[in-house]
Amino acid sequence: MNAADVQTCKALMRGGSKSFYLSSLALPKRVRAPATALYAFCRVADDAIDSSTEPARALADLQARLDAVYAGTPRADVADRALAAVVQDAQLPRVLIDALLEGFAWDAQGRRYETIDDLHGYGARVAGTVGAMMALVMETRDARALARACELGVAMQLTNIARDVGEDARNGRLYLPLAWMREAGLDPDAWLAKPQFDHRLAGVVSRLLIEAERLYARGECGVCDLPRSCRPAIQAARLVYAEIGHALEAAGFDSVQRRTVVGTGRKLTLLLRACGAVLRAPGHPIAAGAASAPLPAVRFLVDAAASGERPARTFYQRTLRMIDLFERQGQRQRGQAAAA
């Protein structure tokens, strides 16, 4: 991946997601560039489908672009070239990117979700896939760690949905579980025709954030399974997104009349707090829940990512990996000694 392409991808991230951009700064350089490339392609693909008057044709074009990427002959587009480099270096299974595009297509179709399990399926595609790809870029193919990474992605997507209820509704989209709305006494179609905030909607948004918190807790269990140098960035992303939910709760769960944001100062505080994740060993008490089976919606992603072959590493990469393994082993032994 050449430097000019990396800079272009970085500009896309900076303009599209300040939270992701800030968190990415804590990644080691060897991971930051491919992570930026992944974001760039995701952004370009989402925009291509979302802005098209013929989403099916846009999706077909993206599939053709992926064909070229996986054939090693990407189009001249910066995002395609950058993705091709990541695909080759990290051996990304195509099923992950195909699932991501499927989720974007569901957006374009205005698809709605009856149950929270259905919504998990959507979150798995548009965000769990990113968690899986990031884990692979970090050279993590352990099924347990992959499951937690995917679940963290789903949690973030649920937070996005809770935050953007009003904005989505004004664009004719509704992502809240329809069954939950009915249980709260809201008719989904009537509400979408005239979106308003009241205590019933507050209850639905609150319920969604509780589910997000459950998945954030599961996702955090996987942080200690990542290479030590990568932990602060992932923990920072987790903390910042969870903070959006906390701020929304403080605002009475009203995401119709206002859009909740987390200020830069608060993000920096959370980033500093996340640096503590680098000291957390696999034997840390938080890892007690790490053995949980994957959320059913993400299992196909975990299976696809865990089954791929590891790419051949250079001597330098093997040396860094060996140092990291020694450090993690030492941390594990110190944790066991402290617990004895």
Which segments of 71-93 does DSSP mark as H helices, in order?
78-90
Tell me how far apart the alpha carbons of residues 34 and 314 are, in angstroms, rounded to a whole number. 17
User: Which pLDDT tens digit goes with each residue over 30-77?
Assistant: 888 888 889 888 888 988 998 888 988 999 999 999 999 999 999 988
At which residue do the structure tokens 């769990």 appear? 128
At which residue do the structure tokens 């040396």 appear? 319
Task: Assess whether pLDDT exceeds 90 at residue 7.
Answer: no
At which residue do the structure tokens 């395609």 appear? 80
Mean pLDDT over 215-241 rounds to 90
Burial class (CB in 10 A: 0-12, 13-18, 19+), 73: exposed
Residue 254 has a pLDDT of: 97
Domain ranges of the chain: 97-339
Residue 278 has a pLDDT of: 58
Q: Confirm if 157 and 123 have CB atoms less than 8 A apart.
A: yes
Burial class (CB in 10 A: 0-12, 13-18, 19+), 20: buried
Q: How much of the chain, in percent, has pLDDT values that exceed 70?
A: 78
CATH number of 97-339: 1.10.600.10
Q: Confirm if 290 and 225 have CB atoms less than 8 A apart.
A: yes
Q: Confirm if 62 and 49 have CB atoms less than 8 A apart.
A: yes
Tell me how far apart the alpha carbons of residues 70 and 126 are, in angstroms, rounded to a whole number. 20
Task: List the structure tokens of 269.
Answer: 């505080």
Task: List the structure tokens of 13.
Answer: 């991230």
Can you give the length of the chain in residues? 340
Least confident of 99-113, 135-149, 169-183, 298-312: 298-312
Q: Which of 53-67, 152-166, 268-282 has the highest mean pLDDT?
A: 152-166
User: Can you tell me whether residue 314 is helix, strand or coil?
Assistant: coil
Task: List the structure tokens of 132.
Answer: 């899986």
Question: Is pLDDT larger for residue 24 or for residue 188?
Answer: 188
